[in-house]
Amino acid sequence: MSETSQGPVGVDQRQATADQPAAAQPSAAQLSAAQRNAVAELLRVSPVADELGRRFTAAGHELHLVGGSVRDALLGRLGDDLDFCTDAQPDQTLAVLKGWAEAIWETGREFGTIGAMRGGLRLEITTFRAEAYDGVSRNPVVRYGTSLADDLVRRDFTINAMAVSLPGHVFTDPHGGLGDLAARVIRTPGTPQQSFGDDPLRMLRAARFVAKLRFTPDPAVVAAMTELAPSLDRITPERIRDEFTKLMVGADPIAALRLLVDTGLADRFLPELPGLKLAIDEHAQHKDVYEHTLTVVSNAIRLEGGGEPDFTLRLAALLHDIGKPATKAVGSDGRVSFHHHEVVGARLTRQRMKALRYPKDVTADVTRLVELHLRFYGYGRGEWTDSAVRRYVTDGGPLLDRLHKLTRSDCTTRNRRKAAALAADYDALEERIARIAAEEDLARVRPDLDGNAIMELLGLPPGPLVGQAWRHLKELRLERGPLTRDEAEDELRAWARAQGL
């Protein structure tokens, strides 16, 4: 690696070398743009970062902005969470921070990390690391390193193995990360086999960066992911869940999902996804349900309208058809069907999300969307009464807006006439919902008599019979719309007589 040279905008850059892959060789314009981004971002945080650097220097220690913070600064998207590394050990770091930081926490102390808050920035300072792995778990045996080089070589990817010294702003890039950043390539500082063998979770992290940054993994990285996919079994479900969630809310989860399937990683924690390749779509519009599913996810992202990523909607789109392989049937006419796949899919969704330790409320929402995603398809035949519309809204509940988007996303037919008809049908349904909602509070459909009124009218104490009466009145409310007080009381008395009360 050549020596560093002063860049045109004040951040030293380590030049690309002859042994760096050709795909990663950045152009002068790309390097200049990255430098401008970095300087602009560093100027924003420098009052705090440089002041902290001067404090470490005065105490006889090094301080470097490092990892994702440098990567994001070069991309022009540095946030308010800054990562630093230092040769100071935790007690020494604490001594530097005390009296300067507005808040200090030591929750990461066993890994050499001390956290602090200053000027609205969240700072994490970690002692140089040079850990070793036991090859059984992903947990490293924490061993402090003695140099910045030790620290950078242990990092997951070259784009995260760059550093900027403080307060001097000298840029260090021993593994060609800047070139890879400019070329939008994901590589590892050492061999990917060594990196992923040390920590298999890094394979999911590679896919996450594909989704987040729209980067392309180096062929050697893809080969190592394929070779070492079984080692993902060493990772806890919670860790896998967290990486997968970040992947799903990335800018381009489709490319990342393909990578997970192609390398066999999906087989280790989400086998239902590659399993969709076994089921041919009944409309014969896609090579398989797998391709249809990825299109539905893409459609759902488009319907988010550029707002915050909706993980619940995206995951429901990904899982909405996972019941198809188990329900596939071929009729006498040769047509393929998947009867009740939404019911089976909801059950499989609940099981998979439970295995990945998703919170109960998120699991319930995604499962409900999978269960309801086919409900709309009877509407176009003109069979829906106002009662059916009320039930649709009530069953959708707070998920109704997501259900609208999921249902529209599920229309992937290439037949323009059919696609237009489905869109028109759903437009008509939404207009009908709006009309009925203007007359009734569909979001809060409840019986016309509450529990207290039921007990008073029938002379019942609190108990199961009151609940049965309440549900009966709610069914009437859904079927007929609002009842007057007299009508509701008459219906309740008729129900009570039928129950022998």
Per-run averaged pLDDT (10 residues), the chain, 501 residues:
34 38 54 70 84 97 95 89 96 97 94 95 93 58 83 94 92 93 94 94 98 97 98 96 98 97 98 85 61 95 92 98 89 79 96 98 97 79 73 86 92 78 82 75 61 82 85 75 79 84 78
- H/E stretch holding 476: helix 464-480
Is residue 435 domain-shared with residue 476, that is, in the same domain?
A: no
411, 428, 444 - which closes a domain: 444
Which residue range(s) make up the domain with 466? 451-498
Cis peptide before 398 (omega within 30 of 0): no
Within a domain: residue 249? no
Residues 40 and 156 in one domain: yes
The reply to whether 370 and 422 lie within a common domain is yes
Does residue 231 lie within any of the structural domains?
no
Please report where in the chains the tokens 């529990």 appear, as a residue: 451
- Using the structure block, give the residue that is written with the tokens 């020596």: 3
Q: Which amino acid is at 48?
A: V
Residue 484 included in any domain: yes
Same domain, residue pair 284 and 182: no
pLDDT at 97: 98
Does 476 lie in the same domain as 402?
no
Residue-level pLDDT at 13: 42
- Whether 27 and 176 map to the same domain: the answer is yes
> What is the rounded CA–CA span in Å between residue 495 and residue 501?
9
* Residues sharing a CB contact under 8 Å with residue 264, sequence separation 6 or more, in sequence order: 226, 229, 230
Q: What is the pLDDT of residue 41?
A: 79
Which of 444, 462, 482 is a domain's end point? 444
**Are residues 151 and 101 part of one domain?**
yes
- Asked whether residue 217 is assigned to any structural domain, the reply reads no
Residue 406: give its domain's CATH number: 1.10.3210
Residue ending a domain, choose from 190, 222, 257? 190
Q: State whether residue 489 is helix, strand or coil.
A: helix
Token pair recorded at residue 37: 């981004």
Based on the fold, state whether residues 80 and 48 are members of the same structural domain: yes
Distance CA 414, CA 396 (A): 28
* Within a domain: 485: yes
Does residue 409 belong to any structural domain of this protein? yes
Q: Is residue 224 part of a domain?
A: no
**Judgement on whether residues 287 and 383 belong to the same structural domain of the protein:** yes
Residues across the chain: 501
Q: Is there a contact between 78 and 44 (Cβ–Cβ < 8 Å)?
A: yes
- What are the backbone dihedrals phi and psi of residue 76, each rounded to the nearest 5 degrees, phi first? 80, 30
Own/partner long-range contacts of 379-386 (Cβ < 8 Å, ≥24 apart): 379/425, 379/426, 379/428, 379/429, 380/421, 380/422, 380/425, 384/429, 386/436, 386/481
Residues 469 and 394 in one domain: no
Residue 223 forms part of a structural domain: no
Q: For residue 446, what pLDDT is reported?
A: 63
Return d(Cα 438, Cα 49) in angstroms, integer.
Answer: 56
Shared domain check, 426 and 484: no
pLDDT at 413: 75
Element (H, E) at 206: helix 201-213
Q: Could you tell me which residues come within 8 angstroms of residue 402 by beta carbon, excluding any fewer than 6 positions away?
A: 310, 312, 313, 316, 365, 369
Radius of gyration (C-alpha) of the chain in whole angstroms? 29
pLDDT of res. 455 = 86
Q: Name 285's Cβ contacts closer than 8 Å, sequence gap at least 6.
A: 292, 412, 413, 414, 415
Number of structural domains the chain divides into: 3
DSSP string covering 123-191: EEEEE-B--EE-SSSS-EE--B-SSHHHHHHTSS-GGGS-EEETTT--EE-TT-HHHHHHHTEE--SS-
Same domain, 380 and 463: no
The pLDDT score that the predictor gives to residue 322 is 96
